[in-house]
Structure 1
Amino acid sequence: MNLSNFGMDSITLAGPLEAKLRASRASGFSQIMLWARDLAGHPGGLDEAVRLVRASGVRVTGIQVMRDYEGLDGALHEYKLDIARQMLLVCQAVGAPLLMVCSSTSSHASASMPLIARHLAKLATLAVPLGVKVGYEALSWGRHVNQYEQSWEAVELADHANLGVVIDSFHMLANRASLDGLEDIPSAKIAMVQLSDFMWRDIRSAEERLETARHLRVFPGEGAHSAELTDLLRRLDRGGYRGDYSFEVFNDDYLQLAPEIVAQRAHRSAKWVTDQVLRRSLDVRRPSAAHAAMA
């Protein structure tokens, strides 16, 4: 694993689309996760935003985010399906291979796992001719799906080749999730891994969870859960995951800094993962010279 496996999430960077792309590339990243509003809100319009992204040479790893999609019925389901179709077209236009879908928080959504799975499979089928995959993520405050094991249950039940699960370290840390369930998820069914940390050991209320998630995340290596992140990353590596890692760091302080400065922090975080976490993991598994001589 090297820097090419890592990318920033545009939500972390201040400024217009051009500045985010420039800062990301200047810091050595070759990929970026974009939010649909980065493109839709560009002053020059969507077509100009797509041209900028393609001209930047930065690979788009995915588009965020389809919310409150699954488990609805009637007119609500048709409305959300129409929005999803439009977001898939944005993915296709900008060359993004993945549409991110986060678990519903809607009080109108059904808890039926078979229905959730059917809706995810329907979206994955719509995405096939556009060359886009669908990744499903469990929000830690999701109404019915709020653990990564549940998101995997839905993906497994959907049984669609174009659908995968998204592993998000923040939501796992916030829920104090056991990592043992990762062994049940084939690496080929992990669509994306999103990484971030936060600065305190405990989240003491639902309000603090939302506040932390939306305003106070930090990069891996900067927070209070380095040991848990190390365990997560090594398990994913041992399980065969070789896909993309995205730093999804919502942080109001970072939005007050020049994007170049924040991108440099992200670069240090990527180095922490590759040099301090995964390389040490490889060293532990590699036999020593003395052991090899005795063998």
Structure 2
Amino acid sequence: MNLSNFGMDSITLAGPLESKLAASKAVGFSQIMLWAKDLAAHPGGISEAVRVVRASGVRVTGIQVMRDYEGLSGPLHEYKLDIAKNMLQVCQAVGAPLLMVCSSTSSHASGDLPLIARQLAKLATLAVPLGVKVGFEALSWGRHINQYEQSWAAVEMADHSNLGVVIDSFHMLANQADLEYLEDIPSEKIAMVQLSDFMWRDIRSAEERLETARHLRVFPGEGIHSRELSELLRRLDKNGYRGDYSFEVFNDDYLQLSPEIVAKRAHGAAKWVTDQVLRRSLNMRQPVPGHPMMA
């Protein structure tokens, strides 16, 4: 695990797309997770935004975010499927290997797991010829799927090679998730890991959960869940995950700072993350007094 495994999330940085790419690259990140609206809102249009991204030399980790896709039927499903197809085309245009789909919050969505699995598999199949993978994430306020083990159950049932699960530390911390279930997920089925923390232990209401998630996250190492985050990281590393990590940090304070300052904070978080894994690995390799290795 090193700096090349980590990247910024464009939602964390203020300013235009060009500034976000430049700030991320300046501190040593070689990748970035982009929100589709960063491209769609570019003054020159999506085609110019794609040119800017490709010219920057920064690799796009993926595109966010397809919302309220699964569990719908009839015209609603057809509408969302059409939106998803368009987002897949954006992924292809900008060279993003991943489209992120977050679990539905819609009151019109069914919790029927076989239906959800079939619809995720359908999207994954549509993504194959475009060279894009689909990652499914459990929102902690999802209507039917709100725990990471539930998102994995849907992905496992879909049984599609182009579909994986997204691990998001915020939603796991907010739900006080049991990390034991991580061992059930093969490392190759984890499409992405998103990292962030927050500043208090208890989330007292659904409103506070949303407020924290959308405005008050902080980087790993800055919040008060460092012990849980460290355990999460070590479990992922032990289980063989060697993919990308993205700092998905929604924070209104950061949006009042220059992207350069925030990118430096993210760089510090990357060092904190690697230290947690490396320190544990080194400790485990230390010879024990009286052990044959000491002779």
Scaled to the shorter chain, the TM-score interval is over 0.9
Aligned residue in 2 for 1:59: 59
RMSD: 1.0
Mapped contact 2:70–2:109 kept (Cα < 8 A): yes
TM-score after normalising by structure 2: 0.98
List 4+ stretches of structure 1 deviating above 6 A: none
TM superposition shift of 1:294? 3.9
Q: Deviations over 1:105-151 (max 9, x none)?
A: 00000010000000000000000000000000000000000000000
TM superposition shift of 1:80? 0.3
SS of residue paired to 1:214:
helix
Indicate the percent of aligned positions where both proteins have the same amino acid. 82
Alignment of 1:33-48 (within 5 A): 33-48=33-48
For 1:168, give the aligned amino acid: D
Distance 1:293 1:113 in 2: 52
For 1:215, give the aligned amino acid: H
TM superposition shift of 1:285? 2.2
Q: Deviations over 1:230-277 (max 9, x none)?
A: 0000000000000000000000000000000000000000000112x0
Change (3 A) 1:87 1:280: same
TM superposition shift of 1:287? 3.9
Q: Deviations over 1:139-171 (max 9, x none)?
A: 000000000000000000000000000000000
Q: Deviations over 1:62-82 (max 9, x none)?
A: 000000000000000000000
Distance 1:274 1:184 in 2: 24
Gap runs ≥5 in structure 1: none
Gap runs ≥5 in structure 2: none
For 2:7, give the aligned amino acid: G
Distance 2:292 2:223 in 1: 38
Question: Number of residue pairs matched?
Answer: 294
TM superposition shift of 1:289? 8.2
SS of residue paired to 1:89:
helix
TM-score after normalising by structure 1: 0.98
SS of residue paired to 1:166:
strand
TM superposition shift of 1:292? 5.8
TM superposition shift of 1:288? 2.4
Distance 1:237 1:86 in 2: 34
Distance 1:281 1:148 in 2: 25
For 1:44, give the aligned amino acid: G
Alignment of 1:66-81 (within 5 A): 66-81=66-81
For the pair 1:129 / 2:125, whether they are aligned, the reply is: no
Distance 1:27 1:261 in 2: 10
